[in-house]
Amino acid sequence: MNKLTSVALSAALSGGLVLTLAPSSEAATPIRTKALNTALDKKGSPYRAGGKGPTYFDCSGLTYYSYKKHGKKLAATAQGQYNKSTHISWSKRAKGDLVFFGTSSRNIKHVGIYVGNNKIVNANSGSYRGYKVVVAPISEYKYGGRKVYIGRVNG
């Protein structure tokens, strides 16, 4: 049950009282922020292809798990998540947005969650940072002609 952050009482014309409950700050927190915090809590968890949590993750499994934990079900693959997200420009990106990598928007191969300062939290499948969930610069994943795409999950 959520904590109440404010309670307002007002008299109704009939002489009765109407109780108005404002949502707590927990309920008002955007799902993107909640998903980001969940992913950050998994930092250091091992990478495993097909892993969707709570112990092992691949890139899309981490984003899937992080959003699902807060009531939003995403597609199982990075491409599917890109296809279903709201595409936004680089300049509009915000913490909790999905950051996709691919040679085109029809060839998405990797996904992470934006943490700010041009970094993402993601399930890293390369030996250079270890096979685990890490926070890393976006630039590390822009190789082999990969472009960066930003997607927003609403909800």
With contact defined as beta carbons under 8 Å apart, do 40 and 115 qualify?
A: yes
* 87 counts as catalytic: no
* Closest-CA residue to 66 (of 49, 84, 45): 45
What are residue 39's DSSP bridge partners?
none
**Which listed residue (37, 70, 87, 110) is catalytic?**
110
With contact defined as beta carbons under 8 Å apart, do 28 and 17 qualify?
A: no
* 70 counts as catalytic: no
**Which listed residue (59, 83, 87, 118) is catalytic?**
59
* 59 counts as catalytic: yes
**Which listed residue (37, 122, 124, 154) is catalytic?**
122
With contact defined as beta carbons under 8 Å apart, do 37 and 69 qualify?
A: no
Q: Give alpha helix (H) positions in the chain.
A: 25-28, 31-41, 59-68, 78-84
Which residues are identified as catalytic? 59, 110, 122
